[in-house]
Amino acid sequence: MTRTLLTGNGAAAWGVRLAGVDYVPAFPITPQTEIIETISLWIDAGEMDCRMVTLESEHSMLTAAGAAAAAGVRVFTATSSQGLLYAMEMLYTVAGWRAPFVLVNVSRGLSAPITLEPDHNDILAARDSGFLQIHAATCQEVLDSVIMAYRLAEDRRVRLPVIVNLDGFYLSFTREPVTLPEAAAVKRFVGPFNPENLRFRASQPVSQAVAVLGGSPYSYFRYEMHLAALNGLRVFDEISDEFARDFGRRYDAVEAYRADDAEFVFVMIGSFATKAVDAVDRLRDAGRRLGLVRPRLLRPFPEARLRELLLGKKGAAVIDQNISMGKGGVLFAELASALYGQKDAPTLTSFIGGLGGRDISLEEFYEMAAVTRQAAQTGQAPPPRLLYTEDELREMRKLQAVAQAERHRLGGNTA
């Protein structure tokens, strides 16, 4: 067991290496590229027995990943943002094949306007694809989640592909101390891939692209995927128990930090949740009973566990690093549906922030706690708060004034 400094991308690559992956179809995109670069260096140096193929797009990359998994080999691939969206058609398709493999998505805000920095709209666009989703908050968790994801995907009660998500920059390019588990222990933990009926044999063709007309057979296949995804809850619990036993690190489907005796909690996913941990500690020091509830597993959605953790609390501040235009935060809506009609449900407040990598400051966490406390007292939740300050708008107005002056000079629309 070595403890070393690794970026989130490096940690993902180590997870892949230790899981004994056979095949990696690849296509580069910032901020993911370091993952496949690292793997390709290892393959070149003979340190990893694996085949890597570069494809001409993410759409083809996902097709290759699904096809290889359907041929019975252990597959890994990675992408980000626009790449994930470009591959979206195949995400839904290969999930329907029930071919298990692991995809790492390094979250990055979507165009337009284009950016490099993270938020969760990319990964949430894949929410209903049939891929299960594990969201990591630290580099260690990235490595461990990749390993656990193979167990989850390949379990015969599930057999669906799994996405492990990490935030661009705040994890992908950030080095933290990471413990590398022993290769032999991981090999034992993950085990060999049992592809069951998935195979490729000469002269024995199998078609994954079956057509069904009339809603009934179609419904059957879709419902079966849903049931398999729901099985993922129990299977994930088993895997995390086993992982904790073998490696001493525990990853529940929902992380609950100082939540047991908390009156109020922050609810969020991804790496900024560590900032919430910091805020919780500091608010506790100031005598406030705060906690953090972080769904690690987003699909399947750990509804029952979230109810257990949240019912009886006075309030929950849901922080969404995504925005569904014309609705609001996706996580807020998911959580509200899980708590609707339940006795002793907390007052929910909604905050949208951290889009395109915008920081969420400690002071903003304190203020979100204060707003939620106030809402619980009055029983009246304020409208969703789009985190944005006076200073930010002032800077934006300056840029717009420049653009306006230029439009004027260029004789364009000056209105």
Partner 1 sequence: MYRIRFHGRGGQGMKTAGRMLGSAFFLEGFEVQDAPRYGAERRGAPIFSYVRASRRNIQERGIIRRPDLIVVADDTLAAIPAAGVLSGATAHSVLLISSNRPAETWRERLNFPGPVLTLPAPAEGDFQATKFTGAACVGAAARLTGVISRNSLTQAVRTELAHLGEAVLAKNLDAALQAYDLMAEHAGCVTEATESPAEEYEKPAWIDLPFDEARVAAPAIFAPATSEQVPTGLWRTVRPVIDYEHCKRCAWICSSLCPDGVISLSEEGFPVIDYEHCKGCLICMSSCPSHAIRAVPEEEAAGEMSGGGR
Interacting residues with partner 1 (CB under 8 A) = 5, 7, 30, 112-113, 116, 169-170, 173-177, 271-272, 274-275, 277-279, 281-283, 285-286, 288, 359, 361-364, 366-367, 385-391, 393, 400, 402-403, 406-407, 409-410, 412-413, 415
| Least CB distance to partner 1 at residue 276 (A) | 8
List the one residue out of 50, 232, 28, 257 whose CA is nearest residue 132: 232
Between residues 220 and 388, which has the closer beta carbon with respect to partner 1? 388
Q: Which is nearer to partner 1, 229 or 352 (CB)?
A: 352
Q: Closer CB to partner 1, residue 314 or residue 385?
A: 385
Between 177 and 191, name the residue whose CB sits nearer to partner 1. 177
Nearer to partner 1, 207 or 390 (CB): 390
Name the minimum Å distance from CB 320 to partner 1.
Answer: 16
Give min distance, CB of 405 to partner 1, in A: 9
3-class secondary structure, 4? strand
Residue 77's alpha-carbon distances to 80, 166, 359, 390, 395, in angstroms, are 11, 14, 29, 42, 40
Q: In degrees rounded to 5, what are phi and psi of residue 6? A: -135, 145
Minimum CB separation of residue 28 from partner 1 in Å reads 13
- The residue to which tokens 């799994």 are assigned: 162
Q: What is the DSSP string of 189-202?
A: HH-----TT----T
- Give the residue with the Cβ less far from partner 1, 344 or 392: 392
Of the candidates 245, 246, 360, 348, the one whose C-alpha atom is nearest the C-alpha of residue 306 is 348
Residue partners of 336: CB distance under 8 A and separation at least 6: 348
- Of residues 217 and 382, the one with the C-beta less far from partner 1: 382
Is the Cβ of residue 91 or residue 262 nearer to partner 1 in the bound state?
262
Give bridge partners of residue 184 from the DSSP assignment.
Answer: none
Report how far residue 97's alpha carbon sits from residue 101's, in angstroms, rounded to the nearest whole number. Answer: 11
We find the least distance from the C-beta atom of residue 264 to partner 1, in angstroms, to be: 13
How far apart are alpha carbons 31 and 28 in whole angstroms? 9
Structure tokens at 249: 């690190």
Structure tokens at 120: 């969760």
The token pair at 356 is 């395109």
Amino acid 266 reads F
**Beta carbon of residue 302, minimum distance to partner 1 (angstroms, whole number):** 23
**Minimum separation from the CB atom of position 372 to partner 1 (A):** 14
d(CA 146, CA 302): 19
Instruction: Specify the pairing of strand 264-267 against strand 315-320.
Output: parallel
User: Is 9:63 a contact under the CB 8 Å cutoff?
Assistant: no
Least distance from partner 1 to the Cβ atom of residue 9, Å: 11
Toward partner 1, which CB reaches closer, 344 or 406? 406
Contact yes or no for 272/356 (Cβ under 8 A): no
> In this structure, are residues 117 and 169 in contact, taking their beta carbons and an 8 Å threshold?
yes
User: In sequence order, which ranges of 2-127 are alpha helices (DSSP H)?
Assistant: 8-19, 33-44, 58-70, 81-86, 88-96, 121-124
The minimum distance between CB 318 and partner 1, in angstroms, equals 16
Nearer to partner 1, 196 or 392 (CB): 392
Smallest distance from partner 1 to CB 56, Å = 23
